[in-house]
Amino acid sequence: MIDELDGRVIELFAAEPRIGVLEASRRLGVARGTVQARLDRMARQGVIRGFGPEIDPAALGYTVTAFVTLQIRQPGGHDPVAERLAGVPEVIEAHTITGGGDMLCRVVARSNQDLQRVIDMIVDVRGVERASSVISLATQVPQRTLPLVAAAARPRTADGTGADGRGADGTRGNGQGADGGSGSGGSGSGTGGDGSDGGRRPGRRAVEGPPS
C-alpha cells in the first residue's frame, strides 16, 4: 500500500525522472531522507521498478502496432513459446489469455510489409500452431499507471471509497469521509515524517535510483 506522500513522490519522478532527491525534497516540502526512504521502500516492494527512460517505438521507426493472437500447440506449454518469442525484438509484450486464443502479443513493425515479416517470424516459433492479427489504427488511451497511483494513495474507508468520498475511479459517492465530513478529504499520512523506515539507514537500493 502507498499513502498520499508516496503518490506525490511517484508523480514527481514520473514527470521529471532526472530530478535529484534534494530538489524533490524541496518541491515536496519534506526532508531529503524522507524522499530517499520512500523511494527505497517502494523499490523494495516492487511499486517502483526503475527510473529508466520511456522509449517511443514510433520515434525509432516502428510506426505500425499490431496485436497477434496465437494458438499454442499442446502439450508443449506456454513458457517455452514465450522464451522463444522473447528472441523476436518486435514482440514487445506477450500475455497468456483466456478465450479463443492461448497467447496475445503486442508487436511493432516499420510498415505493413514489415509486419508480415514479423508475423512470419512468430509463426516460425516452435510451438505456435497459428496466428491471427489486428492492426492498431490509433492509440486512444495510452498505457498509463498514474491514475492507479492516485487511486491507491487515497485512504480507503470500509465501503471501499476514499476518505474524500471518491471511489477508485475518482467519482464521489454518497457516503461521508472518514472524518465525518461531506468529502472534503483528509490529508495523506507521512508528509512530515522520515518514511516507513525513518530514513535513518540508507539500505540497499533494489533499482538504480535517481540522481541525488
At residue 51, the pLDDT reads 85
pLDDT at 203 over 80: no
Mean pLDDT is lowest, of 64-78, 101-115, 158-172, 194-208, for 194-208
Instruction: Please name each of the domains of the chain with its CATH number.
Output: 57-135 (3.30.70.920)
Question: To 5 degrees, how large is the angle CA 107–CA 109–CA 113?
Answer: 125
At residue 196, the pLDDT reads 41
Question: What is the C-alpha radius of gyration for the chain, rounded to an integer number of angstroms?
Answer: 22
| 17 upstream amide cis, omega within 30 of 0 | no
Whole-number average pLDDT of the chain? 83
**Widest Cα–Cα separation across the chain:** 62
At residue 9, the pLDDT reads 97
The stretch 48-60 carries a mean pLDDT of 91
At residue 159, the pLDDT reads 62
The stretch 152-170 carries a mean pLDDT of 63
pLDDT > 90 fraction of the chain, expressed in percent and rounded = 66
Q: What is the DSSP letter of 67?
A: E
